[in-house]
C-alpha cells in the first residue's frame, strides 16, 4: 500500500520519557475541580452559576457566547466554592469556577442510556454537539459546531478526514484512546459525516499503524459515505494541516478522487462527538499522557477536566528531582505551565516535566550558520534569515519577509545547536504584523 507524505524537511522525533502506549489508568477524582470558562478559542463562556450554588455532574455552568465560544459543564457534583483568575504564559487572563466535590454522581458508575441518532437531521446533530460543548481536543480547541457551520458555504464536495497520524510520541494518549474506544471513534466518525453533510470519509493513519487503520475501516463498513484508508509517513510534522493536505493531494491525484473541502478531526474529538450524541454527555474527562524525565512513573491517564496538574503529577509518583521545564501539550508546540494549580482542560492531551538534562543547556549562543534549520523546515523557509530579520538591528523592515508562512512546528528549534528560539520568534513577529 502506497505511503503518502510531504516532501520537504521534517524530523524523526522520539522521546524515551513519554509514557507507554499499552493502556490507560483512571485518575482519582479531584476534591477540588478548577473549571475554566475558556477552554477554547474566542470568548469566555458566561457563568450561569454563582458561588454557593450546588451543581450536578454534567450540568451547564458556563454558556458560550456566539461563534468561537463553547458551553462549559461541571465535571463533578458539588458546590461552587469560589472563583479564581490567573494569567497564562501567553499573558491571557482566564477565569474559573472552583467546585468542591460533594454529593452523588449521575453518570459515573451508572448504566448509560444510549440514544438513537440515525434519523436525526444534520442541523439537530449540530445543535446537540453545540449544547454539550464539544471542541477540537487538540490545538486551539475550536468549537466543532462552528466547524460544521463553516461548511455550509462549501460549493465543492466535503470530506471528513479522521486524523490518526502519530508523528509525535506525545500523542500517546490519542493512540491509547483510539485502541480502547475504537467503536466510539468509528460511530463518532459516522455522526460527524452526517452532521457536516460530508460525502466521503478518509481514514489517515501513520504507516506503522496500518493494522489499527484496517480495524477502524472494518467498523465503518456500514457508513453512509464511502470510506477509504490512506497511509502517511510518520515524519514530524505530518499531522499539521499543511503537511496533511499535501499528502492528501498526492493521494487524490493518484486515485482520481476529488476530496474538495476537508475537515480534519482527531480520535479524541470524534469520541467526544459520539458521547454527546449517543450518551447525551459533555466532555467530562479525557486521556492525558503524563511524562517527562522529572516524573517518577509516566503513564497515560483518564483525567477529569478540572483536575489540577500538580495532582496529576503527584499521582504519577511526583518529581524525581526539581524540573526545569513544565508544560502542556507537545514539547515542540505546547505551552508553558506557570502554576501547578492550573487544571487539565479539554485540549490537554499531554502534560510533562523535564529535568535539566532533557532541556539541554538553557543558554543561547550565536548563530553558526550551519544550515540545519533550513534542511528541516517543511515550508522551505530560511529560519536563520527570518530570525535575524525580526530580531536583529534591522527588525521592523520585514514587510516582504515570509514570516507569515511559518506555522511554528518547531523543527528548526529542535536541531539548532545554538538553541536559538527560531520558530517562536518568527511566529511572534508574524502575529505582530512585522
pLDDT of residue 362: 59
Query: Which comes out higher in pLDDT, residue 88 or 266?
Result: 266
Domain ranges of the chain: 3-13+118-279, 372-432
Candidate from 236-250, 325-339, 387-401 with smallest mean pLDDT:
387-401
pLDDT > 70 fraction of the chain, expressed in percent and rounded: 96
Residue scoring higher pLDDT (205 or 363)? 205
Which of 339, 349, 380, 387 shows the shortest CA–CA distance to 366? Answer: 387
pLDDT in tens, 346-404: 999 999 999 988 876 557 888 999 999 999 999 999 999 999 988 866 555 555 468 88
CB 328 within 8 A of CB 313: no
Per cent of the chain over pLDDT 90 is 76
pLDDT at 434 over 60: no
pLDDT level of residue 111 (50, 70, 90 thresholds) = confident
Tell me the average pLDDT of the chain. 92
What's the order of all strands across the beta sheet hosting 72-73?
46-47, 60-63, 72-73
**Which spans in 118-180 are helix H?**
122-131, 144-150, 172-180
CB contact set of 221 (below 8 Å; sequence gap of 6+): 227
DSSP class of 150:
H
HSE-CB of 245 using CA atoms within 13 angstroms: 10
Give residue 153's pLDDT. Answer: 81
Whether the Cβ atoms of residue 282 and residue 71 lie closer than 8 Å to each other: yes
CA angle 82, 87, 91 (to 5 degrees): 155
Burial class (CB in 10 A: 0-12, 13-18, 19+), 241: middle
235 pLDDT tier (thresholds 50, 70, 90): very high
pLDDT given for residue 135 in this prediction: 97
Question: How confident is the model at residue 124, as a pLDDT?
Answer: 97
pLDDT score of 394: 55
Q: What is the pLDDT of residue 360?
A: 62
Query: What value does the mean pLDDT take over residues 85-110?
Result: 84
Condensed to tens digits (0 to 9), the pLDDT of residues 411-431 reads 999 899 988 989 888 988 887
The pLDDT value recorded for residue 203 is 98
Distance CA 263, CA 158 (A): 7
Task: Please list, in sequence order, all residues whose beta carbon lies within 8 angstroms of the beta carbon of residue 95, skipping any fewer than 6 positions away.
Answer: 36, 37, 38, 44, 47, 83, 84, 85
Mean pLDDT over 327-344 rounds to 91
Longest dimension (CA), the chain: 65
Q: How far apart are the first and last CA of the chain?
A: 45
- Which range has the worst mean pLDDT, 15-24, 102-111, 223-232, 349-358? 102-111
DSSP 37-82: S-SSSSSPPEE-S-TT-EE-TT-EEEE--STT---EE-SS-EEEEE
Q: Which residue carries 476534591 as its cell?
A: 31
Q: Which fold has domain 3-13+118-279?
A: Rossmann fold (3.40.50)
Asked if residue 309 lies in contact with residue 340, where contact means CB atoms within 8 angstroms, the answer is yes
**Contact status, residue 271 vs residue 144, Cβ threshold 8 Å:** no
pLDDT of residue 139: 77
Q: Which of 237-241, 320-324, 345-349, 429-433 has the lowest mean pLDDT?
A: 429-433
**Rounded Cα gap, residues 43 and 271, in angstroms:** 25
Which pLDDT band holds residue 108 (cuts at 50, 70, 90)?
A: confident
* Strands of the sheet with 3-4, listed across from one edge: 3-4, 227-232, 200-206, 158-164, 261-265
Q: Residue 367's pLDDT is what?
A: 92
Instruction: List phi, psi (to 5°) of 382.
Output: -110, 85
Cell numbers that stand for 344 in this block = 487539565
Residue 180: C-alpha distances to residues 184, 203, 211, 212 (Å): 9, 17, 15, 11
**Which of 151-165, 309-323, 400-414 shows the lowest mean pLDDT across its residues?**
400-414
Looking at residue 395, what is its pLDDT? 57
- Provide the pLDDT for residue 276: 98
Amino acid at each position: 500500500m502506497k505511503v503518502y507524505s510531504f516532501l520537504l524537511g521534517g524530523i524523526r522525533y522520539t522521546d524515551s520519557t513519554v509514557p507507554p502506549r499499552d493502556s490507560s489508568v483512571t485518575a482519582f477524582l479531584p476534591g477540588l475541580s478548577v473549571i475554566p470558562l475558556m477552554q477554547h478559542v474566542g470568548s469566555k463562556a458566561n457563568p450561569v452559576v454563582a458561588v454557593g450554588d450546588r451543581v450536578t455532574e454534567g450540568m451547564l455552568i458556563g454558556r458560550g457566547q456566539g461563534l468561537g465560544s463553547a458551553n462549559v459543564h461541571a465535571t463533578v457534583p458539588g458546590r461552587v466554592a469560589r472563583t479564581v483568575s490567573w494569567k497564562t504564559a501567553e499573558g491571557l487572563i482566564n477565569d474559573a469556577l472552583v467546585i468542591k466535590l460533594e454529593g452523588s454522581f449521575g453518570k459515573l458508575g451508572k448504566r448509560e442510556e444510549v440514544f438513537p441518532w440515525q434519523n436525526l437531521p444534520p442541523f439537530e446533530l449540530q445543535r446537540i454537539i453545540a449544547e454539550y460543548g464539544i471542541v477540537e481536543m487538540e490545538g486551539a480547541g475550536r468549537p466543532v459546531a462552528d466547524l460544521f457551520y463553516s461548511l455550509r458555504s462549501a460549493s465543492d464536495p466535503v470530506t471528513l478526514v479522521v486524523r490518526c497520524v502519530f508523528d509525535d510520541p506525545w500523542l500517546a494518549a490519542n493512540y491509547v484512546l483510539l485502541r480502547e474506544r475504537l467503536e466510539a471513534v468509528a460511530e463518532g466518525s459516522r455522526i460527524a459525516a452526517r452532521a457536516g453533510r460530508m460525502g466521503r470519509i478518509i481514514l489517515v493513519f501513520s504507516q506503522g499503524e496500518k493494522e489499527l487503520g484496517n480495524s477502524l475501516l472494518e467498523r465503518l463498513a456500514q457508513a453512509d459515505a464511502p470510506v477509504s484508508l490512506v497511509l502517511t509517513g510518520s515524519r514530524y510534522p505530518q499531522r499539521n494541516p499543511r503537511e496533511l493536505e499535501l499528502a492528501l493531494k498526492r493521494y487524490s491525484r493518484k486515485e482520481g478522487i476529488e476530496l474538495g473541502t476537508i475537515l480534519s478531526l482527531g480520535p479524541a474529538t470524534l469520541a467526544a462527538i459520539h458521547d454527546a450524541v449517543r450518551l447525551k454527555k459533555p466532555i467530562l474527562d479525557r486521556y492525558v499522557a503524563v511524562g517527562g524525565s522529572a516524573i517518577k512513573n509516566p503513564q497515560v491517564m483518564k483525567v477529569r477536566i478540572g483536575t489540577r496538574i500538580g495532582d496529576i503529577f503527584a499521582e504519577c509518583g511526583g518529581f524525581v528531582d526539581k524540573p526545569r521545564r513544565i508544560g502542556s501539550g507537545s514539547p515542540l508546540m505546547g505551552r508553558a505551565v506557570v502554576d501547578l494549580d492550573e487544571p487539565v482542560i479539554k485540549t490537554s492531551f499531554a502534560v510533562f516535566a523535564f529535568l535539566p538534562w532533557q532541556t539541554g543547556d538553557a543558554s543561547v549562543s550565536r548563530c553558526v550558520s550551519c544550515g540545519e534549520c533550513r534542511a528541516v523546515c517543511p515550508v522551505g523557509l530560511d529560519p536563520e534569515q527570518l530570525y535575524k530579520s525580526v530580531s536583529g538591528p534591522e527588525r521592523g523592515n520585514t514587510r516582504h519577509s515570509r514570516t507569515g508562512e511559518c506555522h511554528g512546528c518547531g523543527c528548526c528549534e529542535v536541531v539548532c545547536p545554538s538553541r536559538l528560539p527560531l520558530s517562536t520568534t518568527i511566529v511572534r513577529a508574524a502575529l505582530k504584523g512585522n
